[in-house]
Amino acid sequence: MKKKDRLPPFTPTGNNLIDSDIYKKLTNASRVAYLLLCRQKKHFNQTEVCFPYSHAQEYMNRNTWSRAIKELIACEMIEKKQEGGLFRRVNIYTIHGISIKGIGIATVKTTSK
């Protein structure tokens, strides 16, 4: 296959994900955050990605990103862990997709101060 015959890079999203009740209940910011995380995968079977907030800044602000990630964690589509030293911590996200338990989406409540 020649280089000119290749498709441009894309992020596949399965129809079963789009049709799921959990995905339908997500906010638009959470959907964008999920697609941004999936975009970082280099091959289909990869589940862990490293994604700093600085890459998401052109799509949403810090508070929106934080709420979107919390919502994705609450519905068990992703897990988040931090690795690194004292000053340079890196977020590692494990992408699960649709929750295996099939439970409804949990809402993230914010309190105004």
- pTM for the structure as a whole: 0.76
Give yes or no for residue 110 having a pLDDT over 70.
no
103 or 11: which leads in pLDDT: 11
42 or 3: which leads in pLDDT: 42
Q: What is the pLDDT of residues 71-101, one digit of tens each?
A: 999 999 999 998 876 777 788 999 986 543 4
* H helix or E strand, kind and range, residue 66: helix 62-74
Domain architecture of the chain: domains with CATH: 14-95 (1.10.10.10)
Question: Residues with Cβ < 8 Å from 52, sequence gap 6 or more?
Answer: 90, 91
Question: Residues with Cβ < 8 Å from 98, sequence gap 6 or more?
Answer: 16, 17, 20, 22, 23, 77
Only one residue has tokens 């914010």, namely: 110
pLDDT category at 10 given cuts 50, 70, 90 is confident
Find the range with the poorest average confidence among 63-67, 69-73, 80-84, 108-112: 108-112
> Is-contact 60 37, C-beta < 8 A?
no
Only one residue has tokens 């907030």, namely: 53
Give yes or no for residue 104 having a pLDDT over 50.
no
Q: Which residues pair with 50 in a beta bridge?
A: 92
Give yes or no for residue 33 having a pLDDT over 90.
yes
User: How remote is the C-alpha of 89 from its chain's centroid?
Assistant: 18
Q: To the nearest whole number, what is the mean pLDDT of the chain? A: 81
pLDDT category at 107 given cuts 50, 70, 90 is very low
